[in-house]
Amino acid sequence: MSGNSEPRKYKNPVLNWIEFRLPIISYFQKEYGEYPMPKNCNYFWSFGALATITLITMIVSGIFLAMNYTPHTEMAFDSVERIMRDVNYGWLLRYIHSNGASFFFIIVFIHIVRAMYYGSYKYPRELNWILGVFIFLLMMATSFLGYTLPWGQMSYWGATVITNLFSAIPIVGEGLKTWLLGDYTVGNATLNRFFALHYVLPFVIFGVVGLHVAAVHVHGSNNPAGIDIRSKNDTVNFFPYMLIKDTIAVCVFGVLISAVIFFGPNLMAEVDNYIPADPLVTPAHIVPNWYLAPFYAILRAVPDKLGGVLLMFGAIAILFVLPWLDTSKVRSCNFRPMYKWFMMLFFVNFFVLGYVGMLPAEGLYLLIARIGLVYYFGFFLIITPFIGWIEKPKALPLSISDVYLGGGKEAPVPVSEKEIH
């Protein structure tokens, strides 16, 4: 900071006045104007922007919902329906918020798939990846808390099942559960604290997203070729080149999410959640939100309660160490002929886990969940380190500029020679 050259000059005196006292104008110019993006970035690189926009949409719609919501077991269900019926455009707010949560996870899943496939988690972006996993964890907690608020059958029983998991912990489990619930069972105390936490956590997410973005801007964005930026010719400025692509992505996303919000707003919801919570009636199948289903499948695939809980949290925890489990120096799976297929299978496997997580845990579904569980952990603990050692990667292109012009694949340079250039 102190080493910086003299402050920039702007035509607008107000900007100059601010810049002299707080160099925020040049900061935004540097980070969002001139920020160099690799030319060859495809539309997968728009999902970070989409996620940010969705987060802001969720926060804004959530604030307006909170103004009309009553966190009390006797009134919560009716207050949500009152929002839908009597608040001006309340139905729109609520459907944006409930479907927005689902789409937020779709976006973030694709964002994570992109990071894994193109090796964005590797040196020097490990901390960035860790922050991302942390955001994902916070998102899951927030969505779980939010799902409780309408106080329908799934809200109540989902909260009961999930908080019950903590009682599996030896010795302190029961006490911990009671402490979390504020009562011996899920009740008004629980609903109140869940509402408070659901309100505050998105702002924590927003803060971590700030760090996440700041961290990626230090070494710049990864790209589909997974090679470093070598010259100015490899990049374009974020503004307007990437911004315009992100805008297209927003429009496509807008069409998709609008189709659901306006024409099938309850497609992603569980019908049981339109039945007010009743502690005396257990629904036939208690299912989590679809985006938590892969982890729910892992939980139920283990016959032992504590084991299931450990593996479920382990499934997320293991993501934190992925940068050190991967022994290959090549980032992009485009140049990793073997790992590429295991990676694809991992995505399919995750999808299958999610599917069986929504179905009763019995018979074939249980078997599939167990196979999926083994592959999930096998992929990280065995396949990822092992393939890194034995795989012979394809030759990497010379530069991003070559890739962009389509010459990268025709004039390959072996990996060993790459370092010379």
Torsion of CA 25, 31, 34, 39, to 10 degrees: -160
Q: Binding residue for other proteins (CB under 8 A) from 18, 53, 78, 386?
A: 78
Minimum Å gap between C-beta 161 and other proteins is 20
Residue in 130, 106, 127 with CA at minimum distance from that of residue 50: 106
11-70 residues near other proteins, rule: CB under 8 A: 39
CB nearer to other proteins: give 128 or 334.
Answer: 334
Cα separation of 272 and 77, whole Å?
Answer: 12
Q: Binding residue for other proteins (CB under 8 A) from 374, 381, 405, 411?
A: 405
Q: Binding residue for other proteins (CB under 8 A) from 248, 267, 381, 382?
A: 248
Q: Binding residue for other proteins (CB under 8 A) from 67, 345, 374, 382?
A: 345
Residues 6+ apart with CB under 8 A from 68: 79, 82, 83, 87, 90
- Confirm if 377 and 394 have CB atoms less than 8 A apart: no
Cα–chain-centroid distance for residue 287?
A: 20
Minimum Å gap between C-beta 313 and other proteins is 26
Q: Binding residue for other proteins (CB under 8 A) from 63, 75, 259, 411?
A: 259
- Confirm if 354 and 293 have CB atoms less than 8 A apart: yes
Q: Does residue 295 belong to the site contacting other proteins (CB under 8 A)?
A: no
Contact window for other proteins (CB under 8 A) among 26-34, 116-124, 193-201, 259-267: 259-267
**Helix segments in 221-277, DSSP class H:** 243-263
Structure tokens at 175: 């006490």
SS3 category, 397: coil
Q: Binding residue for other proteins (CB under 8 A) from 161, 275, 395, 413?
A: 275
Angle at 242 between CA 236 and CA 248, to 5 degrees: 150
Q: Does residue 337 belong to the site contacting other proteins (CB under 8 A)?
A: no
Cα separation of 347 and 344, whole Å?
Answer: 5
CB nearer to other proteins: give 67 or 405.
Answer: 405
Q: Does residue 411 belong to the site contacting other proteins (CB under 8 A)?
A: no
Produce one character per residue of 283-317: b if its CB has 16 or more CB atoms within 10 Å, e if not.
beebbbbbbbbbbbbbbbbbeeeeebbbbbeebee
DSSP 235: E
Q: Binding residue for other proteins (CB under 8 A) from 27, 179, 262, 324?
A: 262
Contact window for other proteins (CB under 8 A) among 128-136, 158-166, 251-259, 386-394: 251-259
Q: Does residue 268 belong to the site contacting other proteins (CB under 8 A)?
A: no
Residues forming the site for other proteins (CB under 8 A) = 39, 78, 81-82, 84-85, 91-92, 95, 236, 240-241, 244-245, 247-248, 251-252, 254-255, 258-259, 261-263, 265-266, 271-272, 274-275, 284, 341-342, 344-345, 348-349, 352, 355, 359, 364-365, 368, 404-405
